[in-house]
Amino acid sequence: MTSTIRNRVLSPAELDAFGNDIDAVRARTVATLGQRDVDYIRAVASAVRWIGLSGRLLLMVGAIGGAFLPALLWPLCIAGTLLLALSKILENMELGHNVMHGQFDWTGDPQLNGQAYEWDIAGTSDNWRKTHNHKHHTWTNVRGMDDDIGYGLLRLFPEQRWKPFHLFQPLIAVVFALLFEWGIAIQDLRLGRWVAGKMRLAELREQFRPVGRKMGRQVLRDYVLWPLLAGPFFLPVLLGNVVANVLRNLWTYTVIFCGHFTADAETFPRESVRNESRGQWYLRQLRGSSNLTGGRLMNLMTGNLSHQIEHHFFPDIPANRYASMAVEVREICARHGQHYNTGSMPVQFGQVVWRILRHALPSRPRAALPAMQASA
Amino acid sequence: MTPRPRPARRLVRGFVRGVAEVMAPPQALGFWADRLLPGANAGRAKVLERRRESADAVTLVLQPGRGWGGCQPGQHVSIGAELDGRRVRRSYSPTGIPRADGRIAITVKRVAGGKLSGFLCDDAPVGTWLDIGPAFGEMTLPAQPDAPLLFLAAGSGITPLMAMARALAARGMPVPLTLLYWARRRDELCFVDELRALARDVPGFNVRFLLTGEAASVTDEGEGRIHAAQLVSFVPDLAERRVMACGPNEFVEAARVLTASQALAFVSEAFTAPRITDDIDTTGSVQVTLARSARVLTLPRGASLLEALEAAGVTPPSGCRMGICNTCACGKRAGSTRHLHTGALEHEPVTALRLCVNRASSDLILEL
């Protein structure tokens, strides 16, 4: 499966025009932010809380009631687990991720403050704001600068150096998916540096302290306190919570991998970001990102990462606007001769799986095409 | 007044809070607390009563949430509401305090084009929840007043002085008090009936209403902006009085010039409608106050705030330096900024100002 994409090579003047067109979409949207955006995110927050509470209560009733009336056990526990997983997915994707980008800072609502939000996942929000908001969003798909390319674990692009370790990556990728939240939690610790002797143990321990506290709290919440509430019938609650967290991990992994690792997604060398203009930056975001087709349900469940391209253009604009912005963005890309990478989830994720399998074996990049014309 | 919790109860509360904090993330707890215990949030206040005070002013009686710190007569609180999705906050001086039930009253005068004052005057029905901040302000009454007082009020500068006048009247006016109160027109004056009743019933209290845009027609009215002859005729014993002045900047400055050197003491508080700041001018410098580290810096207006701060030796956390990652965002309490990409001016206080893509348009107070 190789890409047949041909993007028009843009001159510096054309790049500026491209950047201005995207900036104009941004300005038009920002000018109309208001009550309906706040109402929307509050409705999402409300859904997250109510669905989460009902999931936990159903699990509880299923576990305790099921001990006396076995017919209740499975249906209630399955329903409770699915609702809890749904709540966690919505919280992580549409609520937490978007709020933590500062998309709703303009409201002045302390509950929607991007720098204060702490999400329901093993990793700390502080680390996420650093690895994701700053590194990944600024240096998207730039090799050696964006740690999200394979998360330091997987080889997904031929430009990454092959090591025998990568032969195991089809298996490692599955384990990573199941434990995705824990992988994200320790991403910023960069254990590899410690293994390679580039970081002292004391330094690692210092960095681990807030991460460990957050992990401990999550374990205590989902695997100790809530199960304990069911007393001797704790086991179904515990298992339900484990399954809900794993379902959330699998879904977020799938969505996120579809965002930057599809067949047509490109990576970039470090040199490409030197003196990058705004137009070049937009172009790099476009070529490194891929969207998912699907309706409003897909947008909601992916936290609007189904509009990964728009999210990378406008990470600080409320995500509920991406769908309408996408119409204009797509038209602008067509007008400037740029490929707009989108497809259904099965197709896009199939391409990701292919990359995981293909690049487990040694591979070589094809002759590089110029991404953009050298600036005059 | 709630009884002080006994140690055992405090222990139980602490335990419940600790368990709750593990069982749900902070924003989830906030969500449920808003619904189950709306009165327990010290940052919120409920509108209990509203009554029209003059042609363009209303008084709102508010019940702040439990734990709100209270307010002295003469102090201010910041009151906010959500307007088209955005929190807008303004300072008001509560009147009619202290009250045994912990409530406060604020009198809101409609400002032309004012977002919050318009909302509070026309909408904000009884039952609305507003934002409320802790009380602030240095102009308060001494515990034991020792000299006659002179209050000089202009426009909505009346509110802190009214709060102190009421507090003194409630204590039987321990020292003589004269209030001179300026407004453009008669129907812009607040508390007129109440002030006249006080002047009639409370010995030692005098009031004069001074109109700058209408002719005086009653004996307790006068005319014209603040000037020396006026003061001599209304306050012959100025030298023995402590002066408290409140109003727009120019008024307070005029009052200072006229009275500060002659009176026993002079304290004042000035306010001004948001200054419309330069649009094009990027030269010169502004004063930037870093509230958390208690530093005042003089920074150039032309550079992004992040660059200007770094050049001054302050290094706030920063990331992308292009307005994307939100790492450098910090709160802005006061002042105007201009966005470097969009050119948009922002006069309101904001919770997250991106330092890397904004420059100062006026003096600023930042949460740094």
Give the pLDDT confidence of A40-83 residue by residue, as tens digits: 999 999 999 999 999 999 999 999 999 999 999 999 999 999 99
With beta carbons less than 8 A apart as the criterion, state whether B127 and B63 touch: no
User: Does A111 contact B23 at a Cβ distance shorter than 8 Å?
Assistant: no
Beta-bridged to residue B353, according to DSSP, are B330
Output the 3-class SS for chain B.
CCCCCCHHHHHHHHHHHHHHHHHCCHHHHHHHHHHHCHHHCCCEEEEEEEEEEECCEEEEEEEECCCCCCCCCCCEEEEEEEECCEEEEEEECEECCCCCCCCEEEEEECCCCCHHHHHHHHCCCCCCEEEECCCECCCCCCCCCCCCEEEEEEHHHHHHHHHHHHHHHHCCCCCCEEEEEEECCHHHCCCHHHHHHHHHHCCCEEEEEEECCCCCCCCCEEECCCCHHHHHHHCCCHHHCEEEEEEEHHHHHHHHHHHCCCCCEEEEEEECCCCCCCCCCCCCEEEEEECCCCEEEEEECCCCHHHHHHHCCCCCCCCCCCCCCCCCCEEEEECCEEECCCCCEECCCEEEECHHHEEECCCEEECC
Query: 3.10.20.30, 1.10.540.10, 3.40.50.12500, 3.40.50.2300: which CATH number matches B285-366?
Result: 3.10.20.30
User: Does A120 contact B327 at a Cβ distance shorter than 8 Å?
Assistant: no
> Which range among A224-233, A277-286, A315-324, B285-294 shows the weakest confidence by mean pLDDT?
B285-294
The residue of A100, A134, A313 whose CB has the most chain B CBs within 10 angstroms, and thus the best one to mutate to test that interface, is A134
Distance from CA of A127 to the nearest CA of B (A): 11
The residue of A137, A145, A215 whose CB has the most chain B CBs within 10 angstroms, and thus the best one to mutate to test that interface, is A137
The Cα A258–Cα A295 span in angstroms is: 16
With beta carbons less than 8 A apart as the criterion, state whether B223 and B215 touch: yes
State yes or no: pLDDT of A2 exceeds 50. Answer: no
User: Does A111 contact B31 at a Cβ distance shorter than 8 Å?
Assistant: yes
State yes or no: pLDDT of A375 exceeds 50. Answer: no
Verify cis geometry, omega within 30 degrees of 0, for the bond prior to B98.
Answer: yes
SS3 (DSSP) at A153: coil
Going by C-beta distance under 8 Å and a sequence separation of 6 or more, which residues neighbour residue A49? A87, B28, B31, B32
With beta carbons less than 8 A apart as the criterion, state whether A52 and B28 touch: yes
State yes or no: pLDDT of A16 exceeds 80. Answer: yes
State yes or no: pLDDT of A32 exceeds 50. Answer: yes
Residue A94 belongs to some domain of the structure: no
Flag whether residue B320 sits within 8 Å of chain A, measured between CB atoms.
Answer: yes
Class of B149-271 in CATH: alpha beta
Chain position carrying tokens 């990462």: A305
pLDDT tier for residue A1 given thresholds of 50, 70 and 90? very low
Flag whether residue A143 sits within 8 Å of chain B, measured between CB atoms.
Answer: no
Residue A169 belongs to some domain of the structure: yes
Residue A77 belongs to some domain of the structure: no
The Cα A265–Cα A342 span in angstroms is: 10
Task: Kindly list the residues from chain B whose CB atom is less than 8 angstroms away from the CB atom of residue A135.
Answer: 319
Question: What is the pLDDT, as a whole number, of residue B53?
Answer: 85
Residues A318-362 have pLDDT tens digits of: 999 999 999 999 999 999 999 999 999 999 999 999 999 999 999
Question: What ipTM goes with this model?
Answer: 0.91
Q: Which among B133, B137, B103 is positioned nearest to B42, based on CA atoms? A: B133
Residue in A closest to B82 by C-alpha:
A107
Supply the range of the domain harboring residue A219: 18-33+132-376
Q: For residue A94, report the phi and psi dihedrals to the nearest 5 degrees.
A: -80, -30
Flag whether residue A34 sits within 8 Å of chain B, measured between CB atoms.
Answer: yes
Going by C-beta distance under 8 Å and a sequence separation of 6 or more, which residues neighbour residue A13? none
Going by C-beta distance under 8 Å and a sequence separation of 6 or more, which residues neighbour residue A17? A279, A336
A-proximal residues of B, 250-289, CB under 8 Å: none
State yes or no: pLDDT of A278 exceeds 60. Answer: yes
Beta-bridged to residue B290, according to DSSP, are B295, B366
Distance from CA of A311 to the nearest CA of B (A): 11
Residue A113 belongs to some domain of the structure: no
User: Does B87 contact A114 at a Cβ distance shorter than 8 Å?
Assistant: no
The Cα A30–Cα B324 span in angstroms is: 14
| Count of domains for chain A | 1
Mean pLDDT over each residue of chain B, to the nearest integer: 89
Q: Which residue has the higher pLDDT, A189 or A164?
A: A164
The Cα A19–Cα A37 span in angstroms is: 26
User: Does A225 contact B342 at a Cβ distance shorter than 8 Å?
Assistant: no
With beta carbons less than 8 A apart as the criterion, state whether B325 and A134 touch: yes
Residue A125 belongs to some domain of the structure: no
User: Does A105 contact B26 at a Cβ distance shorter than 8 Å?
Assistant: no
Of A27, A34, A316, nearest to B85 by CB-CB distance is A34
How many CB pairs lie under 8 A apart between chains A and B?
106
Amino acid identity at A167? L
State yes or no: pLDDT of A4 exceeds 70. Answer: no
A-proximal residues of B, 85-144, CB under 8 Å: 85-89
Residues of chain B whose pLDDT is less than 70? 1-5, 272-281
Question: What is the pLDDT, as a whole number, of residue B138?
Answer: 78
HSE, side-chain direction, 13 A CA sphere, residue B217: 5
Class of B39-132 in CATH: mainly beta
The Cα A351–Cα B73 span in angstroms is: 69
Going by C-beta distance under 8 Å and a sequence separation of 6 or more, which residues neighbour residue B294? none
Amino acid identity at A159? E
The residue of B22, B326, B327, B354 whose CB has the most chain A CBs within 10 angstroms, and thus the best one to mutate to test that interface, is B326
In this prediction the pTM is 0.85
Task: Kindly list the residues from chain B whose CB atom is less than 8 angstroms away from the CB atom of residue A111.
Answer: 27, 30-31
Residue in A closest to B43 by C-alpha:
A110
DSSP state of A130: I
Beta-bridged to residue B286, according to DSSP, are B299
Of A108, A134, A220, nearest to B22 by CB-CB distance is A220
Residue A22 belongs to some domain of the structure: yes
The residue of B22, B351, B353, B367 whose CB has the most chain A CBs within 10 angstroms, and thus the best one to mutate to test that interface, is B351
Of A23, A34, A134, nearest to B327 by CB-CB distance is A134
> Which range among A126-130, A259-263, A302-306 shows the weakest confidence by mean pLDDT?
A126-130
Of A23, A46, A105, nearest to B329 by CB-CB distance is A105
Residues A232-269 have pLDDT tens digits of: 999 999 999 999 999 999 999 999 999 999 999 999 99
Q: Spell out the domain ranges in chain B.
A: 39-132, 149-271, 285-366
State yes or no: pLDDT of A286 exceeds 80. Answer: yes
User: Does B19 contact A225 at a Cβ distance shorter than 8 Å?
Assistant: yes
Flag whether residue A114 sits within 8 Å of chain B, measured between CB atoms.
Answer: yes
Residue A244 belongs to some domain of the structure: yes
With beta carbons less than 8 A apart as the criterion, state whether B105 and B60 touch: yes
Residue A256 belongs to some domain of the structure: yes
Structure tokens at B287: 């004063």
Flag whether residue B16 sits within 8 Å of chain A, measured between CB atoms.
Answer: no
Structure tokens at A213: 């506290």
Q: Which residue has the higher pLDDT, A374 or A118?
A: A118
